[in-house]
Amino acid sequence: MNYSAYWLLHILYALTKSGTVNTIDPKFMQIITVRPAYLREILLLNQTAIPHVNEVDQEFFHQQLEASLYFRAILLEGSVKAFLLGMSETASYQSLNFLWFQERYAKFIYVDRIVVDKQFHRGGLGRALYTDFEGLAKERGCPMACEVNIRPPNPISTKFHESFGFCEVGQQQTEGGAKRVSLMVKDMNDTIL
């Protein structure tokens, strides 16, 4: 990044923190493959998003470095501000929501979790990660799958997924009825398997 781009990013970052700017220009986002050095930041970011994502420990994220199909993050000024963890249909993963899709779809890629730092909500970081992940779905010729909490409600996530082309294909309760999720799919080629 050249000197002027660095300062522009710095100004955009400061304005976003103040609430003056809603969207970060994608050319200033650095999407990276997660490395062990970022796991502590990712764990802390994940904890801020509970109950919209499940609580996990650092060992879970460490295992995902090898096991996941997709584990990428967005850095702004060298810090993790968003991440997406995704898996293929062949993953050995025991999430009830993942298993729901695995029972019904021969081929898919699954968004296990996406977390965006609260100060960057509606700043384009989630859309940038989903667009990057979508490229993988197109390359593999398969749908993208995810779930969004209905109970407790997560209307920001529901609205985001609908705007990105996801449609509900089912619902289920988890955690002994404490949570209810909308199971959603975005079809890449008009063929749901």
Which residues of the chain fall below pLDDT 70? Answer: 1-23, 25-28, 190-193
Neighbours of 97 (CB within 10 A): 21
- What's the confidence (pLDDT) of residue 64? 94
The residues, ordered by sequence, that sit 6+ positions from 141 with a Cβ below 8 Å of its Cβ are 107, 188, 189
- What's the confidence (pLDDT) of residue 1? 47
The residues, ordered by sequence, that sit 6+ positions from 20 with a Cβ below 8 Å of its Cβ are none
- What's the confidence (pLDDT) of residue 24? 72
Class of the CATH-defined domain 3-186: alpha beta
- What's the confidence (pLDDT) of residue 61? 95
Query: How many whole angstroms separate alpha carbon 128 and alpha carbon 134?
Result: 10
Q: What is the three-class DSSP state of 116?
A: strand
- What's the confidence (pLDDT) of residue 3? 44
Residues 134 and 144: beta-carbon distance below 8 Å: yes
Query: How many whole angstroms separate alpha carbon 154 and alpha carbon 181?
Result: 10
- What's the confidence (pLDDT) of residue 100? 98
Against a cut of 0.75, is the pTM above it?
A: yes
